[in-house]
Structure 1
Amino acid sequence: MTEVIVASQAPGTDISVPGASGARQFWRRLRTQPAALVAAAVVALLVLVALAAPLLTAVEGQDPTTYHPTLVDSARGGVPLGSFGGVSGDHWLGVEPQTGRDLFARLVNGARVSLGVAFAATLVQVLIGVVVGVAAALGNRWVDQLLSRVTDIIIAMPLMIMSLALLAIVPSGFPRPVLVALIIGLVAWGSTAKIVRAHALTLKELDHVAAARLSGWGPWRVARRELLPALAAPVITYAALLVPMNITVEAALSFLGVGVKPPTPSWGQMLTAADVWYQAAPQYLLLPAGSLFLTVLALTVLGDGVRTALDPRAASRLRVGTGRKREARA
C-alpha cells in the first residue's frame, strides 16, 4: 500500500489542498463517483449510530449489560426462546444466547467501541508518522539515517504479535478500548512515516521550499508553512485507508481474547462468543460479522474515492487508457 500511495504523487505534481477552492474541487470530483458517495453515506450512518448508541438503547428500553435469563432456554444450553433469536418489541434484534443480553444494544454500543478504537488508532499513527517523516526529511544525514532505521524496525515488527505481547502485560484496570487504540497506533505508524518522508523529500527540492530554507527559516517553520499544507492530500488519503485496517485489527485482537474485555461490547468480542452458536442462533454470528464487513467495505470504497478525488490524474489515466484500447480495437 505504501508504494501505491507514493507512486500516486509523482515529483512536480501539485499535491496541495488550496483552501476553499481546493475543497470545492475535491467535492466536485467526489460527486462523480457514485460508489464513493454511497460509501460515504453508509459511513456517516454508522458514525451517527455509534454516537447515538445510548439514545437508541434508551428508546428500545434496554442496555448492553443486563442479563435476561428468562429469555433463554437453559434446558437446551441457553438458546434464545422465540423465533429469530427472541426478536420482539422489547428486543429488536433478539437476545444473546446463554445470557439473554439485548443484541441491538450490544451491536450499536459495539459500533461505538470498534469505530472509536479505529479512528483513535489512526489519529495516533498519523501524528507520529507525520512528525517522524517530516523530521527525517528536514534533518541532516545522521538524523535521517537514525529515524529511517527506527522506522524500518517498526515496520518489521509483526503487528499482531507485538499487540498481543503488550496487551498481555498491561494491568487490567487500564481502560481497554483506549489501550487497544494506543497500542495499534504506537506499533503501526511506520508506513505513514515512510510515505510522509518520501513526499517531504520531494517537496524539499521545490524552489519555494528551498528559498524559505535559504532565507534562514528554521526546520519547523519550513515544515509548518511550506510542507504540512502540501502533505495534507497524501496523508488524508492514507488515513482514509488506515481506518478499515484498524477496525479489522481491533476485531482480530478482541476475537483472540486480548482486546476489548467483557462486558464492554465490541464486534470482535461478540464474534468470539458467537463461534459456537452459528447453528443454534445464527443471528448472533451474522449481525456483528455483517456489520464488520459492511463497515470495512464502505470505508475502503470511500478511501479509494478520496484518493481519486485528491489525485485527479488517476481518473485521467483511466480515461486515457480506455480511449487507447478503443482506438486499438477500431
Structure 2
Amino acid sequence: MSEALVAVEAAGTGTQPVPAASGARQFWRRLRAQRAALVAAVVVALLVLVALAAPLLTAIEGQDPTTYHPSLVDSARGGVPLGAFGGIGGDHWLGVEPQTGRDLFARLVYGARVSLGVALAATAVQVAIGVVVGVAAALGNRWVDQLLSRITDIIVAMPLMIMALALLAIVPSSFPRPVLVALIIGFVAWGTIAKITRAQTLTLKELDYVAAARLSGWGTLRIAHRELLPGLAAPVITYAALMVPANITIEAALSFLGVGVKPPTPSWGQMLTSANVWYQAAPQYLLLPAGALFLTVLALTVLGDGVRTALDPRAVSRLRVGTGRKRESKADAGVGKEVRS
C-alpha cells in the first residue's frame, strides 16, 4: 500500500498503521500445503544442482562430454556400443554414445546445463521485455498504448518456431549457439506476458493507494517502481514459472530439427536427434535424454502450477494431486491465526 495512503489513514484515525501479514510467509505456507509442488521443487532443485555440478560429477567419473572412444564401439555393426546395456560400467556410468563412444553420463549432465540455461535465460528476456512494454502501454497516453498494443499483437501472432528457424538459419555459426537460441526465444515470445502485464497494470492504476501516490506528487516512474511493480510480482512470477518448461521444449525442438545447439556442445534435443536411429540397437541413448526432458518439463509444470495457486488462493489448481482445498484452507487458517496473535 502506498506510504501516502497509509499516512492519510493513520492521521484520520489517530492510530498507528498496523503492518500487514508478510506476503512471503503466506506464499510459503500455501506452497508447503501442496505436496506435489514440494516434490516438484525438490526435483527441480536436484536438476539445477546436477547442471551446476556437471564439471565436478564428470571429473569424479573421470570422463568428459567430447572425448571420442572408438575402441568402445563395434565398428563392424555400425558403431553399436560394446558390452551390456550400452557399455555401462565403472568408467562409464550410463554407457557410451553409439558411433563415437563419448560418455553418455557426461553428455547428459552437460546437456542439462544447456537446456536449463537456455530456458531460464529466454524466460528472463521475455519477462524483462514484456513487463517494460506492458507497463509503458498501460501508463502511456492513448497513442503510446495503441502503438505498443499493436506491436504486441504482431508478436503474439508470429509463429514462434518458423521465426526461430528462419533467424537461426541466417545467423553466422560463429555466434555462440546457446546464447543465440535464448535470445531468439526471448525476443520472439514476449507478447503474452506483455498483455498480462498491461491488463494487470490497468487494474492496479485505478486503486486508491495508486491514486493517493499520484495526489502526493509522485512521478510516473516512482509510482511504477514503488506501487505497481510489487502488485505485478504475483502474475509475472506465475507466468514466468510456466514459461520455463515451455522454453525447454522449444529449445529441445530446435536442437532436434538441427538448427539449435550445434555439436559438440551437448543438448538433450540434439541427443534425441542423433538417437532416433539407435532406439533398437542402443535404447538407452534415446530413453535417457527423453526421460530427463520429460521429468524436467513435468516437474517445472507442476511447480509452476503450485506457485500460481499459492500466489492466488482463489484459483483452483489444474493438477489435483497434492493440491487439495483442505490443505490450502489449513494453510490460510494458520496464517490468519498468526496475524491475530
| TM-score, length of structure 2 as denominator length | 0.87
1:208 is displaced (CA, Å) by 1.4
1:38-187 correspondence to structure 2 within 5 Å: 38-187=39-188
1:244-323 correspondence to structure 2 within 5 Å: 244-314=245-315, 319=325
Instruction: Give the counterpart letter for 1:220 in structure 2.
Output: L
Compared CA separation, residues 270 and 142, structure 1 to 2 (3 A): same
1:289 is displaced (CA, Å) by 0.2
Note the alpha carbon deviations across 1:238-276, whole angstroms, 9 max, x for none: 000000000000000000000000000000000000000
SS of 1:226's equivalent in the other structure is helix
1:216 is displaced (CA, Å) by 3.4
Q: Whole-Å Cα distance in 2 between the matches of residues 224 and 67 of structure 1?
A: 53
Note the alpha carbon deviations across 1:103-139, whole angstroms, 9 max, x for none: 0000000000000000000000000000000000000
Match of residue 22 from structure 2: 21
Q: Whole-Å Cα distance in 1 between the matches of residues 215 and 288 of structure 2?
A: 59
1:217 is displaced (CA, Å) by 2.5
SS of 2:272's equivalent in the other structure is helix
Q: Whole-Å Cα distance in 1 between the matches of residues 102 and 21 of structure 2?
A: 48
Q: Whole-Å Cα distance in 2 between the matches of residues 265 and 19 of structure 1?
A: 49
Instruction: Give the counterpart letter for 2:156 in structure 1.
Output: I
Instruction: Give the counterpart letter for 2:73 in structure 1.
Output: V
Q: Whole-Å Cα distance in 1 between the matches of residues 312 and 55 of structure 2?
A: 39
1:22 is displaced (CA, Å) by 1.2
Greater alpha carbon shift after TM alignment, 206-215 vs 89-98: 206-215
1:231-242 correspondence to structure 2 within 5 Å: 231-242=232-243
1:222 is displaced (CA, Å) by 1.2
Q: Whole-Å Cα distance in 2 between the matches of residues 246 and 315 of structure 1?
A: 24
SS of 2:119's equivalent in the other structure is helix
Q: Whole-Å Cα distance in 1 between the matches of residues 82 and 126 of structure 2?
A: 45
1:223 is displaced (CA, Å) by 0.6
Note the alpha carbon deviations across 1:169-226, whole angstroms, 9 max, x for none: 1111110000000000000000000000000000011111123234433221111011
1:45 is displaced (CA, Å) by 0.1
Match of residue 9 from structure 1: none
1:20 is displaced (CA, Å) by 8.2
1:25 is displaced (CA, Å) by 0.9
Q: Whole-Å Cα distance in 2 between the matches of residues 32 and 117 of structure 1?
A: 31
1:19 is displaced (CA, Å) by 9.5
Note the alpha carbon deviations across 1:56-95, whole angstroms, 9 max, x for none: 0000000000000000000000000000000010000000
Work out whether 1:223 is the aligned partner of 2:224: yes
Work out whether 1:208 is the aligned partner of 2:181: no
Instruction: Give the counterpart letter for 1:151 in structure 2.
Output: T
Q: Whole-Å Cα distance in 2 between the matches of residues 66 and 228 of structure 1?
A: 48
Compared CA separation, residues 148 and 57, structure 1 to 2 (3 A): same
Match of residue 328 from structure 1: none
Q: Whole-Å Cα distance in 2 between the matches of residues 19 and 248 of structure 1?
A: 40
SS of 1:145's equivalent in the other structure is helix
- Structure 1 unaligned regions, length at least 5: 1-17, 321-330
Instruction: Give the counterpart letter for 1:241 in structure 2.
Output: L
Instruction: Give the counterpart letter for 1:109 in structure 2.
Output: Y
Q: How many residues align?
A: 303
Q: Whole-Å Cα distance in 2 between the matches of residues 253 and 241 of structure 1?
A: 19
| TM-score, length of structure 1 as denominator length | 0.89
Greater alpha carbon shift after TM alignment, 290-299 vs 213-222: 213-222
1:46 is displaced (CA, Å) by 0.1
Q: Whole-Å Cα distance in 2 between the matches of residues 107 and 234 of structure 1?
A: 33
Q: Whole-Å Cα distance in 1 between the matches of residues 204 and 286 of structure 2?
A: 49
Q: Whole-Å Cα distance in 2 between the matches of residues 304 and 19 of structure 1?
A: 26
Q: Whole-Å Cα distance in 1 between the matches of residues 219 and 164 of structure 2?
A: 37
Instruction: Give the counterpart letter for 2:127 in structure 1.
Output: V
Work out whether 1:35 is the aligned partner of 2:36: yes
Q: Whole-Å Cα distance in 2 between the matches of residues 81 and 296 of structure 1?
A: 32
